[in-house]
Amino acid sequence: MCGVIGIYSKSEVNKKLFFGLNSLQHRGQESCGITVSNGENLHREKGMGLVIDVFKEENLNNLVGNIGIGHVRYSTAGGSHDYNTQPLMAFAKGIEMSLAHNGNLINHQILRTRLEEDGVMFQTAIDSEVILFLIARYYKGDIVEAIKKTMKLIKGAYAIVLCLKDKLIAFRDPLGIRPLVMGKNDEDVVFASENAAVEIVGATEIRDVKPGEIIVVDKEGINSSMYTTEGSPRHCFFEYVYFAREDATLDGTNAYNFRRRCGEYLSQESPCDVDLVVPVPDSGIPSAIGYAQKAGIPYAQGLVKNRYMGRTFIKPTQAEREMAVKLKLNPLRHVLKGKRIVLIDDSIVRGTTSANLIQRIREAGATEVHMRITSPPVKFPCYYGIDTPSRKHLIAANMDIEAIREKIGADSLAFISMEGMIKSSSDKHDKFCKACFDGDYPVDPIVI
């Protein structure tokens, strides 16, 4: 998972990109970067760390121009290294281009090997560079045609913004696995992973970029082309479960309402005789509200969140994740002592976070700790941009629910049903990628 933003404006875009990236910080905390065009040349600033730490007044002032793109990263391919920081840059046929990518290609290693055999030397270890190189290779004056030829080769999930000296291009994989929204106002056209980044710069979201769509913005206006209209959308369900901000509305589904309804369905599917409903902040809060309201059980803040800590799931290593949980969440002893609670969380991936929390909640004096999860068990690895590369890291792939309950130390454990989760979306039709739950991959993870 990463976050991307692109802006074509009548005015300077450096501060707008900075603000937009800050609103996407939850999608990646390892590195960030911005590329801006002044109409003649591209200039890039990037670094390891948070947006607020990497970008200061002095390097923002170096980014002069009215077209630009930005990226926040957490690594799924290539590792957490400075040389993998995006946006990437390339030079082809006398022009500069810069690319920012959210997603993951399942055939990038095959393509990379073939290109290396042809003598290509790569500067990074990430799949995004394969995309940029292919676009540069196929570019012969028509950027849309170059992108279409590239899309014919690459397989997997991608939401991409591409900056040329006089153009901003946005395109999305044919299944729309990763989100990309479009917004505008009188002076800006904005593309971003979530609508918060559109709204923070004063634009209004007008629609999602369609699966398989290529949009070019230049002095001629906004022009849309379709690579393909075949296939049904398969939007990532985990976006709504965990990754997206609560105010995100992606492909017609609002994350807050989805999570709240999941809590309501879960309270009906797996009721619990307890004194308090307690959320795991932040993504568990709307679901806990829905659970409490539907069940008629008091809602309570039983965990205090350190607002200066990032998201623990997307920390690069397991050791960092475990320490981050301790630093991030602290039990409220005066709320929990002597109470039977049901703890609401969005998912159990590795199980270490849940076990840590339950142990500390018991130490704070809770007499019973029941756990309810507002997504089905995560049993299969994701090949499209979520950091679950192997089944050996997924607790639900190796244990049944009772064994998981015992492992994490809960008095009871239940997950929402797939039917309940689908009903919780605003679109009751099955237009989602659920591969991490059911193993039904929309793009074959083995591509020859």
Q: Any idea which residues carry the catalytic annotation?
A: 2
For CA atoms 94, 174, 26, 108, the dihedral sign is negative
First-to-last alpha carbon distance for the chain, in angstroms, is 24
| Strand-strand pairing, 95-105 and 88-92 | antiparallel
Phi, psi of 11, rounded to the nearest 5 degrees: -135, 180
DSSP labels for 307-327?
TTS--STT-SSHHHHHHHHHH
- Strands, sheet with 204-208, edge to edge from the N-terminal-most edge strand: 42-48, 31-37, 67-73, 2-9, 188-192, 181-184, 204-208
Q: How far apart are CA 38 and CA 74, in angstroms?
A: 28
Annotated binding-site members: 236, 283, 345-346, 382, 433, 436
Residues 291-321 as b or e (16 or more Cβ within 10 Å = b): bbebbebebbebbeeeeeebbbbbbeeeeeb
Tell me the Ramachandran region of residue 6: left when phi exceeds 0, alpha when psi lies from -120 to 50, beta otherwise. Answer: beta
Q: Which residues pair with 104 in a beta bridge?
A: 157
Q: How far apart are CA 436 and CA 440, in angstroms?
A: 8
Q: How much of the chain is in helix, strand and coil states, percent to nearest 5?
A: 35, 25, 40
